[in-house]
Chains A and B, each alone.
Chain A
């Protein structure tokens, strides 16, 4: 699924771009608007020195006709404050066949005060690229306006038709990574129509009815979301404030009922696409032929989806929301996320398992129960669990308000076994599509034992400091993801280079003697990675002593700093990382000194390590457990303390001495 055009504006602002609509008509005769010169004359507050640009005015008017069709007019005035702010001044207007541009006017004011009007030959038309999509009908008009230097001002006014696929909402993205001096949003509804607003990460402002059923909101001096130099930061999408207006000719439900309507709307759009020919059912029964029970069936079908259906995105018009028919996805063996979810649903239906879609966003926090909306960027599936059924490997289970339980599964993710979901989806919200029983659900946070790394290693240390030995890593859940990908997709050269780069982070001088992995394709088993290495000069002489870092491989600590914290803290994943390492000492050497044991438990995570001097052996063990990945800023001191302890432990040394 791709983000709708209405949602794109906000996303582009996040990327440092400004979205506008353009059309090459009647520019020369357009007078220079006074709303631009007025905005340019605004008295601004003092901004931090690192501020690139400020949005002087962001003004959006949505006009809804009696037939429900809408147009939007946007005005934006941006002032460049630093050289880097030039990047914010590229005016980009997305459109496609269902979201046409009606009109466009763009202007700029150079730092010297000269006023410019954009001409036809200064406009480029560019196609959408990237995102792993083969073809998307999205295009953009792009302008690099003159005068875009510090203290220059760029501006536009645009009018765009809004595609109507049966839903009725519009968003106000009033916050970005630049400060917004003044933001205005208006909606003009047919008389008698109903509307309501929902706000996220900003106190709800009161709208004023400036004309019959014409509503207006205004915000001043909205601060930016600035994540530069913020360690362990959530995604920007998860922090930006926004407002959604829902509107309808009839009574409008709010809250959970609105979520149900959104899900029901999508059900109507997607459900017909699950109809599939007999060969789909036949294939489903074939792959699940040996399945003994529910788990076996879903594992078989999920495995087929992960192995056999390529990710290929083709989106035209409503195709940004509506999946391709399951029959086509099956026949051609490719599709995007919503296509794969649709085929999965069709195939599971064929073996008596009910499943449905879950509309999500891969930026945890973007979808929020407080803000009913269809916006999101990904589609996954929810598989209905039989009543009373349970299996310890099926962890990603949610309960709906209907009492049904669903196993959440992402058929686009080829390396997360069914039963688990990858970290960016965990704890995020999505719309469970279940007709009138649709609802917003929170996806589960998996416990720390769902993703584990068990590392055992045995080394011999030479008197010259050379370390030689073997390492075995047993990886399950998220810790196995990268290794499944590496050993399924890549060749020997890439595998070796990946491992060498891994060792590069910990060893100054080394040779990777061998490396292999087992079970990379078998999603029901942990991946076992074996490798051996020789690291010359690992132990460092200092006078008559030999210094050895007991922590040989892998860092669990993450960069952190002493700055005051205002944003939430994102650990990225939950999991458990354990290791046990034996280093046989060079003949004639004994351990003279070693780090003291470390143990810290801050509730959401714990870390402990210990170095022991055994006969002829230096033994190091440690365990790091992350139970909760999203933390409030108030936990910053605990995170800092945890990371400090871990950093120290990971860099500490033991001292060897000749007997």
Chain B
């Protein structure tokens, strides 16, 4: 399917064009640029771009980049190392020039030769990089360099201007001269060289077009660095940018309609539902309801080997097995396929069962945000399925092995993409599942000995995303490995001194059931003074760390998906000890978004604690961050409260301090 989504424009008529030599001289730095030691608009910056000039000329078949960069700290010296990756068959880098200017105005020219590095070469592809480093770089230096990216005369390359970079940009200038030739599109059709672009720009900045010069241009200034914050949505896909492309589409709607038609046709060609009638006849009965039919088909495709989680086979292997994959019925015949292929098979089978079903290709939410105005099919990642049941569209994710029926893997939720419809294609938006979809129930039954040793068992039952994660990890590895990784994940947050070991899983390969993990508990728990013993009250989160620690926030918060966790912990106490006090019950709300409740009870030699955490919303604005952070901090503080035991009079012994060491970060 990748070829369908890829656009490549070739010149219908190629002509030899002369290479352009650098006509401009270097820029004389201003006294202020030489002397500056910091940029007030970017406090603490390692370096800034004083000026960045990108020009693309599809008539000359070359792009040029000119950079003036000021080094402000030792770390900023790293920007003297320049690596320019490029496609090596049709593109080349030439005219690399550079110089270093010290803060006293001394100029040290770059006299070396750039190295040509092979990144990767195959029978059909070649990727290279030119690398060089500028000489005698000091804090305060201005680094200046430029180069030309040239490409074959039968090729055009519409530029992509990424305006917002890791460094602050004082001033940037961008220019694009498009080709005037007739082009061929990815489908082999001739087309006039019509240019369009998608842009995300700061207020006041706009792409200008000069009709007399047939040139697009953009001037920007004072561009902040691209933000980087923990738990941020995939903002890298929505930084300031202008993305040009050649197109025959007159509007975004026109583009998605036209390209969608090609995509949908290719998709249906692969599905070829007509060949699946016999297969589906073995799966469903005529008397089944539509939902029953879909459930049965879903169950069948879930049994197939999903090579997205194991290993894709090479052409040699397929040939050795006499396999040629041309359509969905071939996938069924060989009983294996990648996630997208299995999704298309599922849609084909549902159609063959007489139901309405479509394919949607979506942008994975952990990678990027779909931008409808960016007319590029390459935004789309995975295929999902849509089936009309009871007059409504329902979404399925058969390409994600073990994904529960009627649910989507979380990266396919709250995102957009392109879907098939009865009349063509349209943009689709997927929904946010409720927190009940992703539930976890944890119970611990523990017995504390007089010497502080603890033993017992843990049961953790999971549905939704968490169960899917472990099941898919088991597909990539094996049960032995996930036992180890699972116990490590639990071990991280239980009290210091406690050791957990995964005993077994239940329903690891049954997507329609809850996944259960059973763990054994050993080690020791609690600390002691001369009179008392202190026990972690919440157990499962006693060692957890606060989620948010930074005060400042500029970006939204993305916590992936909503969920609910309910804990029940019973600690049987030794007879020689009595509970002196337990933490107070707590009810901590984050109105409309989350809630935390904890109860602590002492009864007949037992400490019983319950804990409920519900995150009903996984996306928050930056304005909501302070409240979200406060909520999490309150929860974390509550999770670390302790119950106090005291020795009953005339009873021998008391729990010793931790007898083993499984905690500690080593941070000093």
B423 close to chain A: CB less than 8 A: no
Query: How many angstroms between the C-alpha atoms of A627 and B436 in the bound complex?
Result: 54
B196-204, B273-281, B524-532, B614-622: which one contacts chain A?
B524-532
In the complex, what residue of chain B is closest to A121 when comparing beta carbons? B123
- The smallest beta-carbon distance between B71 and chain A, in angstroms, is 11
| CB <8 Å contact, A134 and B81 | yes
Residues of A within 8 A of B123 (CB): 120-121
In the complex, what residue of chain B is closest to A473 when comparing beta carbons? B668
In the complex, what residue of chain B is closest to A145 when comparing beta carbons? B314
Given contacts A331-B136, A653-B529, contact A491 B657 (CB under 8 A): no
B25-33, B207-215, B635-643: which one contacts chain A?
B635-643
Out of A86, A507, A540, A554, name the residue touching B642 (CB < 8 Å). Answer: A540
Given contacts A83-B478, A479-B668, A489-B46, contact A653 B534 (CB under 8 A): yes
Residues of B within 8 A of A644 (CB): 497, 657-661
A11-19, A274-282, A497-505: which one contacts chain B?
A497-505
B3-11, B341-349, B542-550, B569-577: which one contacts chain A?
B542-550
| CB <8 Å contact, A562 and B499 | yes
Given contacts A334-B133, A540-B642, A593-B532, contact A652 B664 (CB under 8 A): no
In the complex, what residue of chain A is closest to B228 when comparing beta carbons? A493
Residues of B within 8 A of A502 (CB): 667
Query: How many angstroms between the C-alpha atoms of A491 and B121 in the bound complex?
Result: 39
Query: How many angstroms between the C-alpha atoms of A345 and B612 in the bound complex?
Result: 65
Residues of B within 8 A of A331 (CB): 135-136
Given contacts A110-B317, A490-B44, A509-B546, contact A540 B641 (CB under 8 A): yes
| Residues in B310-363 with C-beta less than 8 Å from chain A | 310-311, 313-314, 316-317, 320-321
Interface residue count on the A side (C-beta < 8 Å) = 98
| CB <8 Å contact, A595 and B120 | no
Out of B45, B121, B320, B664, name the residue touching A555 (CB < 8 Å). Answer: B664
A543 close to chain B: CB less than 8 A: yes
- The smallest beta-carbon distance between B96 and chain A, in angstroms, is 14
Query: How many angstroms between the C-alpha atoms of A642 and B528 in the bound complex?
Result: 17
A471 close to chain B: CB less than 8 A: no
Query: How many angstroms between the C-alpha atoms of A494 and B44 in the bound complex?
Result: 9
Out of A146, A493, A547, A572, name the residue touching B44 (CB < 8 Å). Answer: A493
| CB <8 Å contact, B637 and A647 | no
Residues of B within 8 A of A510 (CB): 546, 549, 633
Given contacts A310-B77, A593-B529, A652-B657, contact A561 B662 (CB under 8 A): yes
Given contacts A561-B660, A644-B660, contact A509 B633 (CB under 8 A): yes
| CB <8 Å contact, B549 and A500 | yes
| CB <8 Å contact, B496 and A126 | no
In the complex, what residue of chain B is closest to A117 when comparing beta carbons? B316
- The smallest beta-carbon distance between B145 and chain A, in angstroms, is 14
| CB <8 Å contact, A646 and B664 | yes
| CB <8 Å contact, A596 and B530 | yes
Out of B75, B316, B580, name the residue touching A490 (CB < 8 Å). Answer: B75
- The smallest beta-carbon distance between A99 and chain B, in angstroms, is 16
In the complex, what residue of chain A is closest to B534 when comparing beta carbons? A653
Query: How many angstroms between the C-alpha atoms of A503 and B136 in the bound complex?
Result: 39
Residues of B within 8 A of A229 (CB): 484
Residues of B within 8 A of A577 (CB): 668
| CB <8 Å contact, A332 and B549 | no
Given contacts A333-B136, A594-B529, contact A146 B313 (CB under 8 A): yes
| CB <8 Å contact, B668 and A560 | no
Per-residue contact bits, chain A 268-306, to B (CB 8 Å; 1 contact, 0 not): 000000000000000000000000000000000000000
B80 close to chain A: CB less than 8 A: yes
Out of A310, A489, A512, name the residue touching B137 (CB < 8 Å). Answer: A310
Given contacts A86-B311, A146-B316, contact A125 B133 (CB under 8 A): no
A557 close to chain B: CB less than 8 A: yes
| Residues in B71-128 with C-beta less than 8 Å from chain A | 73-75, 77, 80-81, 83, 112, 115, 117-123
| CB <8 Å contact, A557 and B664 | yes
Given contacts A491-B44, A643-B661, A646-B664, contact A122 B529 (CB under 8 A): no
Residues of B within 8 A of A558 (CB): 664, 666
Query: How many angstroms between the C-alpha atoms of A501 and B476 in the bound complex?
Result: 32
B551 close to chain A: CB less than 8 A: yes
B581 close to chain A: CB less than 8 A: yes
In the complex, what residue of chain A is closest to B547 when comparing beta carbons? A504
In the complex, what residue of chain B is closest to A575 when comparing beta carbons? B668
Residues of B within 8 A of A652 (CB): 527-529, 534, 657
| Residues in A60-84 with C-beta less than 8 Å from chain B | 82-84
| CB <8 Å contact, A122 and B534 | no
B155 close to chain A: CB less than 8 A: no
A559 close to chain B: CB less than 8 A: yes
- Which of A126, A229, A508, A536 counts the most B-chain CB atoms under 10 A from its CB? A508
Out of B119, B478, B639, name the residue touching A82 (CB < 8 Å). Answer: B478
Residues of A within 8 A of B481 (CB): 50, 82, 84
B477 close to chain A: CB less than 8 A: yes
B138 close to chain A: CB less than 8 A: yes
A542 close to chain B: CB less than 8 A: yes
A492 close to chain B: CB less than 8 A: yes
| CB <8 Å contact, B317 and A125 | no
Per-residue contact bits, chain A 497-535, to B (CB 8 Å; 1 contact, 0 not): 100111111011111100000000000000000000000
A26 close to chain B: CB less than 8 A: no
Out of B112, B532, B545, B662, name the residue touching A559 (CB < 8 Å). Answer: B662
Given contacts A135-B115, A494-B44, A542-B583, contact A124 B641 (CB under 8 A): no
| CB <8 Å contact, B477 and A547 | no
Residues of B within 8 A of A334 (CB): 80, 133, 135, 137
B422 close to chain A: CB less than 8 A: no
A149 close to chain B: CB less than 8 A: yes
Given contacts A134-B131, A505-B545, A653-B642, contact A497 B317 (CB under 8 A): no
A116 close to chain B: CB less than 8 A: yes
A314 close to chain B: CB less than 8 A: yes
In the complex, what residue of chain B is closest to A556 when comparing beta carbons? B668
B43 close to chain A: CB less than 8 A: yes
| CB <8 Å contact, A555 and B665 | yes
Query: How many angstroms between the C-alpha atoms of A619 and B95 in the bound complex?
Result: 68
Out of A124, A147, A544, name the residue touching B121 (CB < 8 Å). Answer: A124
Per-residue contact bits, chain A 226-268, to B (CB 8 Å; 1 contact, 0 not): 0001000000000000000000000000000000000000000
Given contacts A126-B118, A540-B583, contact A507 B81 (CB under 8 A): no
A220 close to chain B: CB less than 8 A: no
Query: How many angstroms between the C-alpha atoms of A496 and B664 in the bound complex?
Result: 23
- The smallest beta-carbon distance between B343 and chain A, in angstroms, is 23
Query: How many angstroms between the C-alpha atoms of A644 and B112 in the bound complex?
Result: 58
Query: How many angstroms between the C-alpha atoms of A608 and B112 in the bound complex?
Result: 59
Out of B311, B584, B663, name the residue touching A647 (CB < 8 Å). Answer: B663
Out of A120, A509, A544, name the residue touching B637 (CB < 8 Å). Answer: A509
Query: How many angstroms between the C-alpha atoms of A148 and B312 in the bound complex?
Result: 10
Query: How many angstroms between the C-alpha atoms of A518 and B645 in the bound complex?
Result: 46
Residues of A within 8 A of B664 (CB): 555-559, 643, 646-647, 650
| CB <8 Å contact, A501 and B549 | yes
- The smallest beta-carbon distance between B108 and chain A, in angstroms, is 9
19 A-B interface contacts by CB (under 8 A):
A50-B480, A125-B120, A134-B81, A134-B131, A333-B135, A479-B668, A489-B74, A491-B73, A536-B633, A545-B644, A554-B667, A556-B664, A556-B668, A559-B662, A595-B529, A647-B497, A648-B658, A652-B534, A653-B527
Q: Known pairs A312-B81, A331-B136; list 18 more (Cβ under 8 Å).
A: A82-B477, A124-B122, A125-B120, A135-B131, A310-B137, A333-B138, A491-B43, A491-B73, A542-B583, A547-B641, A547-B642, A547-B644, A556-B664, A558-B664, A595-B529, A596-B530, A648-B658, A650-B664
